[in-house]
Amino acid sequence: MIDHIIAKNKKRMLERYFESWARWVHLGKDRFNDSTGQSVLEKLIEQKGQILFSSSGGGSVQHEACIELKIEASLMKLAVTHLDVVHIIRIEYGAKREGNLSNEATQLEKSLYLGIDLRTYKRKLKHGRDHVADTIFKQ
């Protein structure tokens, strides 16, 4: 019973994290670029995993590893072997807008747009969610 409750809580948390990540994808570029114009990924590589941002006061503040960065990193790793799964995750949560798909498009509409059946869409979506969840919730 307790395991079931924990699993439901993790699923709800993961959904909130994905929604936050999708907003970050669209807004994060401006929010996380500093005066040097470096992207988050460039900063991450340059600083070997630690990101320092300049504050308005002239000093620097360390930005703790945020959940959005963890999701993006997890998806980048998954894209090496399963780019199609990452594409589906990005479309499902609105991180990538495709053609004439509205933000309110159903999974069926998304699967038809991609030219795959709904069952395959859901299977690949689950694969992506599970991969990200394993990354985020690992001990």
pTM: 0.72
Contact 75, 82 (CB under 8 A): no
Among the listed residues 116, 137, 100, the one whose alpha carbon sits nearest the alpha carbon of residue 13: 137
Task: Give the pLDDT band of residue 5 (cuts 50, 70, 90).
Answer: confident
Cα-Cα-Cα-Cα torsion 45, 26, 72, 75, nearest 10 degrees, comes to -130
Q: Which two tokens stand for residue 37?
A: 């114009």
Helix (H) / strand (E) containing 52: strand 51-54
To the nearest 10 degrees (0 to 180), the angle between helices 118-137 and 67-79 is 120
Domain ranges, ordered by start, for the chain: 2-137
Angle CA 100–123–109, to nearest 5: 20
Distance CA 36, CA 54 (A): 10
pLDDT tens per residue, range 80-120: 999 999 999 999 999 998 888 988 999 999 999 999 999 99
| Predicted local distance difference test score (pLDDT) of residue 129 | 97
pLDDT tens per residue, range 17-60: 999 999 988 886 545 554 444 455 555 556 655 555 444 444 43
| Predicted local distance difference test score (pLDDT) of residue 56 | 45
Which DSSP category does 120 fall into?
A: H
